[in-house]
Amino acid sequence: MPTSRIYWRLHSLQQHFKSEASLPLNLAMATGSKLFLSLFLQLLSILFLFNPTNAQGLKIGFYEKSCPKVELIVKNVAADTMSKAPSLAGALLRMFFHDCFVRGCDGSILLDSPTNQSEKDAFPNLSLRGYQIIDRAKAEIEKECPGVVSCSDILALIARDIVAARNGPSWEVETGRRDGNVSIITDAFQNLPGPGFNISQLITRFQQKGLSVKDLAVLSAGHTLGVSHCFSFSNRLYNFTGKGINNDADPTLDPNYVAKLKVKCKPADTTTIVEMDPGSFSTFDNDYYKLVTKRRGLFQSDATLLDNAETKAYVELHAIQKESFFQDFGVSMVKMGRIGVLTGIQGEIRKVCSKVN
């Protein structure tokens, strides 16, 4: 029997059980029904173990009845995007991360502001791309089942599907998020980690979001996909100590790599982009960890994973084997997808992802 069907059966059982549970407990006791009490406790433990809805109110297959084709529609949009614009893979994965770290995974990254004061207007988000892909998926889903699927869930699904489409792992995405109706530029500055962060700043920021040191080591490998602007790391090439002397590069960055990067990135360059995982920037693999061990991680936030025993061990192990990394990536993405979610009657299901209803 498919897992989803088991969930549905358990859900029906739960509905039935809920009406039973609403009987006053003292009535059961008064009638001396020890059997009832024992059944009650047994059912409670079964439901606790198998309840498909997690503590955040999300569950796998949330739209199974209300919009059964949603996952297929998103998957097709992701596949089509990857065939026509593969460079959007990194951008769409990053978009989900930037949504979740700011006000939770509530689609607030997608909201437009008439005065350019929403999250997407914050400097770290100016390099996000691919909003039109989310809009396209939303439009196709709205035709199939209007007003049912949240934009925040579309972000979570598409992040999974583009990783899988670039030869990466796949995982079951929990759905049931609802969309927020607030998006504030300063929230993005305050919540997104910066490329200059050191290990303790990264650990603190991840822990503030309920993510562990391991999640940090795992999710940082999202940098196996995509590109970066020179300005995100040029401080590591020029004037690292701020003393303005020549050859003032970050000593933790491989000097040969510094020389190569300097050819592409001139000081004060604001437009050039470089592959973060040169040669395989559009394939999801474990090369990120190989680069970091070779001191070729592009950002200080990548290099600093070698400054903590736990993250260093994770990086070194997964530079030589990718299987457990692939498994861990799915687990950490699911965890990231639970940050600050709105569920139940909170928030709304936006009709258009860039606007509140």
Q: Which residues bind ligand HEM (CB under 6 A)?
A: 90-91, 93-94, 97, 127, 129, 193-195, 197, 202, 219-220, 222-223, 225-229, 232, 299, 301
Give whichever of 64 and 106 is closer to ligand HEM, judged by the CB atom: 106
Residue pair 206/191 in contact by the 8 Å Cβ criterion: no
Query: Hey, what long-range contacts does 160-163 have (CB within 8 A, 24 or more apart)?
Result: 160/333, 161/74, 161/75, 161/78, 161/79, 162/78, 162/81, 162/82, 162/88, 162/89, 162/92, 162/93, 163/89, 163/93, 163/225, 163/284, 163/329, 163/333
Which ranges of the chain would DSSP assign to H, the alpha helix?
A: 3-21, 25-30, 34-50, 70-84, 88-100, 131-144, 151-165, 185-191, 199-208, 213-219, 255-264, 287-293, 300-303, 309-320, 323-336
Cα–Cα distance measured from residue 151 to residue 222, given in angstroms and rounded to the nearest whole number: 22
CB of 228 to ligand HEM, least distance (A): 4
The DSSP H or E segment spanning 174 is: strand 174-175
CA angle 74, 78, 81 (to 5 degrees): 140
Cα–Cα distance measured from residue 63 to residue 175, given in angstroms and rounded to the nearest whole number: 8
Question: Does 99 show up as a binding residue in the annotation?
Answer: yes
Question: Does 106 show up as a binding residue in the annotation?
Answer: yes
Other CB atoms closer than 10 Å to residue 125's CB: what's the count? 20
CB of 218 to ligand HEM, least distance (A): 8
Question: Does 173 show up as a binding residue in the annotation?
Answer: no
Give whichever of 223 and 296 is closer to ligand HEM, judged by the CB atom: 223
Cα–Cα distance measured from residue 100 to residue 215, given in angstroms and rounded to the nearest whole number: 14
Cα–Cα distance measured from residue 273 to residue 131, given in angstroms and rounded to the nearest whole number: 19
Catalytic site residue from 11, 98, 229, 318: 98
Give whichever of 14 and 311 is closer to ligand HEM, judged by the CB atom: 311
CB of 356 to ligand HEM, least distance (A): 26
Cα–Cα distance measured from residue 31 to residue 216, given in angstroms and rounded to the nearest whole number: 55
3-class secondary structure, 342:
strand
CB of 54 to ligand HEM, least distance (A): 20
Question: Does 241 show up as a binding residue in the annotation?
Answer: no
Give whichever of 5 and 264 is closer to ligand HEM, judged by the CB atom: 264
Question: Does 193 show up as a binding residue in the annotation?
Answer: yes
Give whichever of 64 and 302 is closer to ligand HEM, judged by the CB atom: 302
Question: Does 102 show up as a binding residue in the annotation?
Answer: yes
CB of 248 to ligand HEM, least distance (A): 21
Active-site annotation holds for 98: yes
The span from the first CA to the last CA of the chain, in angstroms, equals: 39
Identify the CA nearest to 220 among candidates 235, 202, 237, 200. 202
Give whichever of 97 and 314 is closer to ligand HEM, judged by the CB atom: 97
Looking at the DSSP assignment, which residues form a beta bridge with residue 228? 274
CB of 91 to ligand HEM, least distance (A): 4
Give whichever of 97 and 326 is closer to ligand HEM, judged by the CB atom: 97
CB of 160 to ligand HEM, least distance (A): 11
- Joined together, the tokens standing for residue 70 give 């949603």
Residue sitting closest to ligand HEM (CB): 226
Identify the CA nearest to 297 among candidates 265, 264, 269, 274. 274
Instruction: List the binding residues for heme b.
Output: 223
Instruction: List the binding residues for Ca(2+).
Output: 99, 102, 104, 106, 108, 119, 224, 277, 285
**Catalytic residue numbers, as ranges:** 98
